[in-house]
């Protein structure tokens, strides 16, 4: 497959990637999952993230949420080679997050094959700098990752609490042209206890024009159906897949 054709296919996939967005979280180049964002509560699921990504693609899934947890903790992109490998060997439309803290790191992210850069910390800490990125790359290339605890934003790989309200953050960047937002309720992430459906309904009630992607806590097909009915544009699923609570075969109907 030629590079131009592959790029064209990825652009087409962006328009119709389906409802399910599987997640791969990376520490030391390995596929892991955390519980409640705690780096001390990590579990390694696979030494080779590419193998997992190819399984997702073989199932018919078109998009991938790839998280550089080392980068999130360090404040700079660390696992860009994992991104480059997956982007180069699959047709998955990848949104990449973790440590995107400078224009250079955003360039690395896009040059390594990400279709979207998901950011959180920089949007909170330096609005002026991030706005310059939007002007350079275009707001359509970015997703605001709103990691939330008690409706307040947490940043730095969920290690730092802020006083910023999630509804205010979305309103702030919606006016700058950003369409996609994903929201993770940290208290539910990795717990398999159900998603933060009431929070997502509240967000969509206040900001009905955004594309809201739910994340965290999904443990059964009913959770996915409820999120779609609530108006979410997608759902990120991680631990439920890795623990075989939801099979890839079950997810095919949402592709």
- The per-residue pLDDT for 193 is 64
- At 108, list the tokens: 């690395």
How far is the C-alpha of 231 from the C-alpha of 60, rounded, in Å? 23
Beta strands in the chain (DSSP E): 20-27, 30-35, 38-46, 63-68, 93-97, 116-119, 142-149, 152-155, 160-165, 180-185, 211-215, 234-237
- The per-residue pLDDT for 33 is 81
Active-site hit among 25, 68, 70, 95: 25
Domains and CATH numbers, the chain: 3-254 (3.20.20.70)
Orientation angle between helical segments 103-111 and 80-89, nearest 10 degrees? 30
CB 195 within 8 A of CB 249: no
How far is the C-alpha of 191 from the C-alpha of 240, rounded, in Å? 9
- At 77, list the tokens: 């992109």
**Is 25 tagged catalytic?**
yes
- The per-residue pLDDT for 7 is 44
Q: What separation, in Å, do the N-terminal and C-terminal C-alpha atoms of the chain show? A: 23
**Is 185 tagged catalytic?**
no
Distance of CA 49 to the CA centre of its chain: 16
Q: Nearest 5°: phi and psi at 192? A: 55, 35
Active-site hit among 68, 70, 147, 189: 147
| Among candidate residues 194, 173, 195, 174, the one with its CA nearest the CA of residue 183 | 195
Task: State which residues of the chain have pLDDT below 50.
Answer: 1-5, 7-15
Length of the chain equals: 255
- The per-residue pLDDT for 4 is 43
- The per-residue pLDDT for 40 is 76
- The per-residue pLDDT for 16 is 59
Give the global pTM.
Answer: 0.88
- The per-residue pLDDT for 17 is 72
């Amino acid at each position: 497959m030629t590079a131009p054709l592959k790029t064209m296919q990825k652009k087409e996939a962006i328009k119709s990637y389906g409802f399910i967005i599987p997640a791969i979280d990376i520490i030391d180049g390995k596929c892991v999952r955390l519980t409640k964002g705690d780096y001390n509560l990590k579990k390694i699921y696979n030494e080779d993230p590419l193998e997992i990504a190819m399984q997702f693609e073989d199932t018919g899934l078109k998009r991938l949420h790839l998280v550089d947890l080392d980068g999130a903790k360090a404040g700079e992109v660390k696992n860009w080679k994992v991104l480059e490998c997956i982007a180069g060997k699959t047709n998955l439309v990848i949104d990449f997050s973790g440590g995107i803290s400078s224009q250079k790191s955003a360039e690395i992210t896009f040059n390594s094959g990400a279709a979207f850069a998901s950011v959180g910390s920089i949007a909170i800490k330096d609005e002026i700098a991030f706005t310059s990125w939007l002007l350079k790359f275009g707001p359509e290339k970015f997703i605001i990752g709103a990691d939330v605890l008690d409706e307040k934003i947490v940043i730095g790989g969920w290690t730092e609490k802020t006083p910023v309200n999630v509804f205010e953050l979305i309103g702030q960047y919606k006016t700058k042209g950003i369409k996609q937002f994903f929201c993770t309720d940290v208290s539910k992430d990795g717990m398999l206890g159900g998603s933060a459906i009431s929070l997502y309904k509240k967000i969509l009630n206040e900001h009905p024009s955004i594309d809201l992607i739910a994340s965290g806590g999904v443990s059964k097909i009913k959770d996915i159906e409820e999120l779609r009915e609530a108006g979410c544009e997608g759902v990120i699923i991680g631990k439920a897949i890795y623990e075989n609570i939801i099979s890839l075969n079950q997810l095919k109907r949402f592709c």
